[in-house]
Structure 1
């Protein structure tokens, strides 16, 4: 019989799933708590192999956003946790005797043991069953014993559940290169502190943060080869800790380092971080007529490096997400789990990508050790690419103003403009040989396929001239071909004749009239030539009799598109001499046309690139084999053009720093390639990647090729151009300030907006950038519109903040 206030045919809610949680860490405890809050009738049991007071960590770090999420999920436990947090706002970087401090980071620290105790007490309060000292050796035995509808495998980094069902979860575990040790110290630090110490063996670094009234976590980290060279591999635990005390005595203020790993012997306290990714998070196991989902959560499903402090954050957010989806799906398991995995896998991947960037930064401190302390600290703060230049301004405008003033000073330019604002790094000048660019923005070379018989025309004048009017400091031509048969398409521009030289001179003169410098990129298409214009079919061979194919050549015989492209022949020595002379002739004409800068195209699978990559060079003579031999011909061409190009003008070289194909060029190779071109006289490396093989599998993202420019600049010691999905002033300012590159090439954004530089500068609120005088009225209107948008955003932010305060006050009164 139905209740009086409920229709007889009302749908009954899905029963809450009987839940077994394996693991009593943050993920398991918090999920059990939230599920019980969502469905008080739920039967929730947590099994934990250790005692209630056991923990093997020191402190846990969150940011302000994490505590906000906890407040929304369970205000009671969140207020308890928040009341015991130690708060700090600043980061300090100690490096080579200098201390750099930046604020606005909003860190919160708490002891791991205290956090677990708070969550345990809250779980007991709401009725979650906690079973300690219960080793769950066999998941299926526990399922048979407890008969759950849902199993949460929150059994940590070394998850036995993940191992048991590895065929389903498909874990990918990458053990990183550095050795690190978790220690503590009875000393209070009022900032999240990084301390770097150089030894005869290499660099060590400490990550230090307070987590209770008197104790701080003290993580010491170093590359494994440095760890071994220092003798730590063979030291006792006591001697290893004493070594660290001596090394970091300046920051320890006479305090001893503490270990809570007495159960480990010798150097076993020094471990490596395993990055865990699982392809699937849910395994369905058959138990008679029942199917039970076993769901990975927290470190069992994924890990993120401690240098961005996200392990516990991710665990909490996993729990919040799954309970949220269970509530939204009326506790129906299959749709809730599908939604949970779809949401969390994307969010976790973002964090793991940032963590990977951060991990690699700390693994290669030696790479950045030559940077000035101000730039070193900025590089550290922005290492994950989650914190950008403008984000730093929001956090600590005074600190960032100091960085911008420093960058301006290094450029030899006074910092403030007429408004008193420091000069944005993207607008600082840059000098290479005797050529000075007015800013760091480069219009990237992009093929436009609009020439007739290799002759540039009015389209090129307008196309390149408009970008010069738009504020870029250096305007690149498309790849300009040194021979007719070196073109990609019939629409590609060339420089094999005096008529072409004269046509280019008209364009160069116009660009110079707008205050920009202009560069020519010389190249030869090789096996990727004799194709249609991009809009008629990228890389497809010519078929129109009016534009017949021409013969192709490359380092070795190849076919770029298997079964489709025209086959190229392997270059003979005579071919190589002919092409080299064509590059020399084109170089002379480029100088006569007035170009300021020359770039040799050795990337993307074109002719010179085909010699460099082992994917396309299968020669058995002196131009094949080792990397040094494969580079022999490109270096011969480079040296020949350097000999005729004026010494006061720079030459850059574009390379593919990664083929994105197994067996192809790697970033390690790219550093060596850059070194060899530097020795030959190159002034700068333009760091692109890919397009050598159709088998490539690049990993795209914001500024995804910038790490190549970073490595080459800071390991090979040669200036670089960063390219690839750089589309905001914020990106450019971050790259320049951190020393990841010296110039930034903007490609597709320049196609859609010739005035990209001026518009992005206006968005920064920097009014001192000169616009072409005929466009003055447009500048004024744009700046007014941007100021209006800014005021509206500030008003909305103020309203949102007021609502948040009201909500917090109401929660506090409850």
Structure 2
């Protein structure tokens, strides 16, 4: 049955959904509406892991080939703590420029007959006529905000401040840099996404942010200070900002967004409009694409829209539970950095890799390190970790809900 779908927002979720729906049935009338000009996307690089490529290959091999061809990859993780450096072998990671990624998705969508309309702002007052309207317009979604009570939208702001920057330093591994100042620690995450650029996210606690004067500095003042602090990690390369029209620095607090329900009539949420997960686990783009895969499958398997949207929501909420838990504990690890930073570098880096664990906040760090090392050899301890982890996670979730009330 031919359907008319309007995807609001030209990000990864909306573009990839349009591709999947056209592949399922070329007769579908699919349009993507983006308020900004084509090619004016924000951000630097996005990161993903090998498993995403395998999953995308099942649904559209053409997209995978193009994305992989324009990505860089790494297998190592490197941590710089003061003047010490440690390197660990890890999973295969990939980085691609956000601009290039969206360009590839847009090209593929056009090839399949999707109509792309840039500089076309869609609001609750001028919704296009369609059988299904997909709100992929991001964390500040206007379509969701207009019905926030219905969706049960909640946003919790993190404690730390962060800035999303670029750099001319090309990292050959996923790189962490931790720098101690008179006002506390400040750190960065860096990864390559092209032959001459990398992403560099800088984060710190409020005390360091204000103590270093970053709360008062505009971008022209703040970038040289950050370049000096991270000179060893950057090898003298420059940082690249994205200042506002007034030259202000782009410091943010991450907002974890959830919604009680994801649909209202023929309107459905996808990607960051539906949920966000802390950037420290590098899963935002992956989750947006997985939303698109699940929604396309639900629309294929159910001819009635309410049943399809219910199936999509139930499936994705269930799949997100473990990812959201990992993101919550990862953010808490950084918010409690002093608990771990004075460990020997090998131990600190090992626990950095374990920051998603629900056990870690409740076990003394050095004891956890020894247990985890032993668990790599003893199956009994591995089973104990698997058994205790969900129990502690459920307890923490219940406690958080009671505190919220």
Which TM-score applies when normalising by structure 1?
0.45
Matched, 1:139 2:124: yes
Residues 736 and 275 from structure 1, CA distance in 2 versus in 1: closer, same or farther, beyond 3 angstroms?
Answer: farther
Matched positions, count: 383
Give the superposition deviation at 1:192. 0.3
> Aligned partners of 2:247 and 2:280: how far apart in 1?
26
Q: Indicate the residue corresponding to 1:116 in structure 2.
A: 102
The CA distance in 2 between the partners of 1:759 and 1:222, in whole Å, is 38
Measured in 2, the distance between the counterparts of 1:182 and 1:281 equals 28
Aligned to 1:226: 208
Which whole-Å deviations, capped at 9, do the CAs of 1:84-118 have from their partners, x for residues lacking one?
11011111111132211111311000000000000
Flag the 1:73–1:759 CA change in 2: closer, same or farther, 3 A.
Answer: closer
Contact 2:161/2:204 (8 A) holds in 1: yes
Q: State the 1:262 CA deviation.
A: 4.8
SS at match of 2:346: helix
Q: Report the CA distance between 1:187 and its aligned residue.
A: 2.0
Q: Equivalents in 1 of 2:169, 2:208: separation in Å?
A: 27
CA contact (8 A) 1:375 1:737 kept: no
Q: Measure, in 2, the Cα distance between the counterparts of 1:336 and 1:58.
A: 35
Tell me, yes or no, if the aligned pair for 1:57 and 1:182 is still in contact at 8 Å. yes
1:290-330 deviations in whole A, cap 9, x for unaligned?
xxx1100000000111111111110000000111122122x
Give the whole-Å Cα distance in 1 for the aligned partners of 2:81 and 2:174. 14
- Cα offset for 1:261? 3.0
Residue by residue, what CA displacement relative to the aligned partner does 1:622-654 show, whole Å, maximum 9, x if unpaired? xxxxxxxxxxxxxxxxxxxxxxxxxxxxxxxxx
Q: Provide, for residues 488-508 of structure 1, a one-character-per-residue CA deviation record: whole Å limited to 9, x for no partner.
A: xxxxxxxxxxxxxxxxxxxxx
In structure 1, C-alpha distance between the alignment counterparts of 2:342 and 2:197, rounded to whole Å = 33
Structure 1 position 340 matched with structure 2 position 340: no
Partners of 1:759 and 1:316 lie apart in 2 by 35
Q: CA deviation at 1:734?
A: 2.3
C-alpha change, 1:366 and 1:759, in structure 2 (3 Å) is: closer
Q: Quick check: 1:283–1:295 contact (8 Å CA) kept in 2? A: yes
Contact 2:256/2:275 (8 A) holds in 1: yes
**2:256 paired residue number:** 275
1:179 corresponding residue in structure 2: 161
Alpha-carbon distance change, 732 to 18 in structure 1, aligned in 2, over 3 angstroms: farther
Distance 2:200 2:370 in 1: 34
Q: Confirm or deny: 8 A CA contact 2:375 2:382 kept in the other structure.
A: no
**2:331 maps to what in 1?**
359
Bigger CA radius of gyration = 1
Change over 3 Å in CA distance of 1:732–1:159 after alignment to 2: farther
- Which stretches in structure 1 are left out of the alignment for 5+ residues? 1-14, 285-292, 386-701, 723-730, 739-756, 764-814
Q: CA deviation at 1:758?
A: 8.2
Distance 1:54 1:226 in 2: 33
Q: Partners in 2 of 1:306 and 1:41 — Cα distance?
A: 37
1:708 aligns with 2:357: no
Q: Which structure has the higher relative contact order (CA within 8 Å, separation 6+)?
A: 2
Residue by residue over 1:729-756, the C-alpha shift from the partner in whole angstroms, topping out at 9 and shown as x without a partner, is xx98328799xxxxxxxxxxxxxxxxxx
Q: What is aligned with 2:46?
A: 60
Q: Deviations over 1:532-587 (max 9, x none)?
A: xxxxxxxxxxxxxxxxxxxxxxxxxxxxxxxxxxxxxxxxxxxxxxxxxxxxxxxx
Cα deviation, 1:590-627, whole Å, max 9, x if unaligned, reads xxxxxxxxxxxxxxxxxxxxxxxxxxxxxxxxxxxxxx
Partner of 2:43, secondary structure, is coil
C-alpha contact (below 8 Å) 1:88/1:192 kept by paired residues? yes
1:263 maps to what in 2? 245
Confirm or deny: 8 A CA contact 1:96 1:373 kept in the other structure: no
Contiguous gaps of at least 5 residues in structure 2: 384-405
Tell me the CA shift for residue 333 of structure 1.
Answer: 1.4
2:355 corresponding residue in structure 1: 383
Give 2:392's aligned residue: none
Give 1:484's aligned residue.
Answer: none
Residues 383-410 of structure 1: CA distance to partner in whole angstroms, max 9, x if unpaired? 113xxxxxxxxxxxxxxxxxxxxxxxxx
CA deviations on 1:437-494 (whole Å, 9 max, x unpaired) are: xxxxxxxxxxxxxxxxxxxxxxxxxxxxxxxxxxxxxxxxxxxxxxxxxxxxxxxxxx
Q: Larger % of strand: which?
A: 2
Q: Distance in 2 between matches of 1:205 and 1:132?
A: 37
Equivalent residue for 1:86, pick from 72, 85, 88: 72
Residue of structure 1 equivalent to 2:194: 212
TM-fit CA distance, 1:140: 4.4
Q: Whole-Å Cα distance in 1 between the matches of residues 378 and 14 of structure 2?
A: 52
SS at 1:355's partner residue? helix
| Off by >4 Å, runs of 4+ in structure 1 | 735-738
- Once the two structures are TM-superposed, the CA of residue 349 in structure 1 deviates from its matched residue by 2.3
Give the alignment's TM-score, normalised by structure 2.
0.90
